[in-house]
A and B are shown apart, each in its own frame.
Chain A
Amino acid sequence: MLVSNPTLPAGETSSGELQDFDSLVRLYRPRIFRFMLASLRDRESAENLTQECFLKAFQARDQFRGAAAVGTWLMQIATNLVRTHEGSKRLKFWRRTLGTCLDLAYVGHWIPDLQRSPEAMVLAREQVEAIWTAVASVSERQRTVFLLRFVEDMDLLEIAAVTGMKEGTVKTHLFRAVQAVRAKLEAIR
């Protein structure tokens, strides 16, 4: 079973946390950056958008009502940024270029080497690659939901809060994404 992320205590709503923005960044930056990287598959864009995410949060820190956890709020900003980034026409060219050279952003290079045999490494790499391509092929919403669930370990309610969708919609998107991933995985087995 997937374990929930211990760095993010659930139900944290104190807006006093926002006063110490420095520690906030230190706490949430890896998480936001990871999500950006997995969504955009481009290190530079991920760095930029992570920076922008925190900038937006800083500028809007007075408007934070404390209705959700700070992590959720930040992730909300992050997903919005990813969506606008995906839609931006200026970057479509670069995305196409990047799409043709997937090796650059190939997550399979980062399989932890837990003293696996070479065969096991190849199999693991194949699986990761299958999931990676499947995630790349689904729509932006499905991808976001999938990543939030299986990379960031959020539960359905949190995802719903982050994306602003209803829980049922989240479920549907997640199902579609899982379907696509499973189809890819079945194909290599």
Chain B
Amino acid sequence: MDAVFIIVSALKVFGFTFLVILPLVAYSTYAERRVCAIIQDRVGPNRVGLPATLLGFKKDLKFFGLVQPLADGLKGLFKEDLTPAHVRKAFYWMAPAFTAAPAFITLCVIPFGSAVTLFGHEIQMVIADIGVGPLFIFAIASLSVYGITLAGWASNSKYPFLGGVRSCAQMISYEISLGLSLIPILLFFGKLNLTDIVTHQATNGWLLLPLWNENGTVIHEGYWQSSGYQWLLLLPMGISFFVFTTSIFAETNRMPFDLPECETELVGGYHTEYSSMKFALFFMGEYAAMIVGSALIVTIFFGGWSLGFGLDTALLQTGDGDWKWYAGFIHLGAFLGKTIAFILFFIWVRWTVPRFRYDQLMKLGWVVFFELALFNIFLAALIIAAPHIGILNTLLFGFPSLTIIAALMFFITKANEEKRRIKIT
């Protein structure tokens, strides 16, 4: 391990965490409040700016309230940090860190851009380029359950505990559909390295918008004629995208599924007993998880850092297929643009869709999404296998067996439901 590698890695960790993600976390709270204000026909926080009147000017500089997150952070730091007497101290103190840390750790496998060449060194714009990218994210993200659960338990009071138990059940349930919905994509790409997945999409078209191809032509003829039936894959990929995105909402405890902190039932949820910066850490963890979620959606379904429309090869590559030295920065911009669009989508959904009931949430996870994702795997596998086993075999054996599996799953679910309804009445 040479010194350059260590220094570059440390710089990347520092840069991506403190210069990219933490400002993004701060400003997504600001965006949340402003977007919510727009939707509810209010003004929102638009006052905090530079206090120019202190220096003798006539008016403060407001900047649309863009300094608000800084003021919020300072307030969190300087507020009294109250530890109630009835809590279990050690876990009470550890829980906020357990929530916030995993969300930031998962960022290290997400490719922020292609490569930048500085001082003769080619620097990949990803902190750890490992071969098990999505699995790593799932593994570390699943550890954030501990933070919320322990917060609920350590608070030693009823409502936080209910919130913690709810979140535990919810996150375990939706992890299943989250993992299963990703399998069709892994079947298609045949690898788990996120950088490779994005590079593949940069040359062959984004997974959900394959409007251009290797030559940069929009709707390449070969795409529709190729024996791979690639365009048929849009159906399973679309289902995957739907299940995956919705499960991310549930995993991050965002609005249609924010049962762990459901104010109307649980006072404040698992963080009822927390104040000042500890509460802010939960908040930061939630937003960081949201950012990681949108970054993952962008990386897998919408081409990550690639510009699309064949622009990557046309503008940013030198003749022999290498990236120009500044390509990484442009790709970083493209990636952040797409991620921010998805964050705004998350915020939009939060202020549009009403909250689910808890039994509806569990039914959606276990009955609808689990089955849908499972069926989706078979569908994608059949379409991918079709050219290898021949059209005749696919139509004669593949599709009938797929239909039988789907029908079986449907009837088992229905039968269960009927039984339960009879029991209740």
Chain A partners chain B = no
Residues of B within 8 A of A (CB): none
Residues of A within 8 A of B (CB): none
